[in-house]
Amino acid sequence: MRTSLNIPQEVLESFDATWQEEELESRSRAVREAIHEYIERHTELEGLEGPAVAALAFDYEHTLVIGKLHTVQHEFEDIISTTQHMHQGEWCLETIFCQGSAARIRELVALLKSSESYRFV
């Protein structure tokens, strides 16, 4: 099926450079792979039930969210086993290791994703 998309020029240039560097045979192939990855990323957690283990990785600007992040971590201490924190200038990389019910982990992910301050990696 043919599809038309509106994409900012700089995003398309970056996308093209990426798939070409990865030596994929075409932009269409790269778009198909990106769509499959998007679907997996956004549906895999939704399908889990029962106990689960997860690692959540994201970055953020330290001064904007550190207080809020600590509050969230305390609210979810029942599933957060440990965290790892790394500084890169004004930005931080955080990894949260979780163990507990998949439903509770989904709650944490949804809460973090609802804030534009975090970028999942």
The tens digit of pLDDT for each residue in 47-57 reads: 778 999 999 99
Per-residue pLDDT tens, the chain, 121 aa: give them.
888 889 899 999 999 999 999 999 999 999 999 988 888 877 776 777 899 999 999 888 877 777 888 889 999 999 999 999 998 888 889 999 999 999 999 999 988 888 766 676 5
Q: And the tokens for 101?
A: 């019910």
Angle, nearest 10°, between helix axes 102-113 and 62-75? 160
What whole-number distance in Å separates Cα of residue 20 and Cα of residue 27? 8
CA distances from 18 to 21, 52, 114 (A): 5, 33, 28
- What's the pTM? 0.68
